[in-house]
Copies of this chain bind each other. A is one copy, B any other.
Amino acid sequence: MSVAKILVVEDEAAIRDMVRLALDKAGFETLEAEDTHQALQVFHDSRVDLLLLDWMLPGQSGLELARRLQREDRTREIPIIMLTARVEENDKVLGLEAGADDYITKPFSPRELVARIKALLRRSRPQAAESPVQVENLMLDPGSHRVSINDHAVTMGPTEFRLLHFLMTHQNRVYSRGQLLDQVWGHNSFVEERTVDVHVLRLRKALSKDGYDRYIQTVRGAGYRFSVQE
């Protein structure tokens, strides 16, 4: 996850523009939607890391959208910041109940907005703060996004990194190509299952130093496994 994608759901074009300007400047990628329907569309088509949601929307309200996202696995973990037009206690309470993680009242400064977003992303992205995983002299550190063998850096592509991370944190269990696609590539990718093989090959090449590729094991007819044994 290089750049966080932030979806802004807001009917007023002026506010959308202002928000986008602020987010672009802060280095985020901005997605936009004017209403709930468009928002669902965006959720379907791309990964969203954080949702900026206006509470007062034409048609289906932001509240309903939030509740809906709570119901589905794929969207449940996405942090939500709600935008409220004024300090209305009732809205806030409802919003927090519906799964909003934070709120900000208009008018707000771009600086405050960005600060809240960063804070929330930091908190809700355990991956970034996750602890390093080590197996013998093979070490993977999610924080610095580095892999090393005997303190000697090992290079690999992003996909291989995610694959290794998943496997190291789920040792001794066999995962089918399909499961790995779900876990490592994400839920809606149209990728051939055999593609997994190629990335396993690349990962093995990267780990071949000191024979650490032996831990990436093939289980014929079942999938792949990370294990120290055998």
Contacts and interface: CB of A to CB of B under 8 A. Distances in A.
A219 B92 contact: no
Contacts of A179: 122
B153 A40 contact: no
A38 interface: yes
A226 B93 CA distance: 41
Nearest to A122: B178
Interface in A134-183: 143-145, 153, 157-158, 172-174, 178-179, 181-182
Contact of A190 (B116, B188, B190): B116
Contacts of A15: none
B221 A158 contact: yes
A188 B119 CA distance: 7
B37 A93 contact: yes
B123 A227 contact: no
Nearest to A38: B89
Interface string A200-230: 0000000000000000000111100101011
A18 interface: no
Number of copies: 2
A76 interface: no
Contacts of A158: 220-222
A21 to B, nearest CB: 18
Interface in A2-60: 36-38, 40-41, 44
A194 interface: no
B40 A93 contact: yes
Given A37-B89, A41-B92, A182-B123, A144 B111 contact: no
Nearest to A43: B96
30 contacts: A36-B93, A37-B89, A37-B92, A37-B93, A40-B92, A40-B96, A41-B89, A41-B93, A44-B96, A44-B103, A115-B190, A115-B192, A116-B190, A118-B178, A119-B178, A119-B181, A119-B182, A119-B190, A122-B179, A123-B187, A143-B172, A143-B173, A143-B174, A144-B173, A144-B225, A144-B227, A145-B174, A145-B222, A145-B225, A157-B221
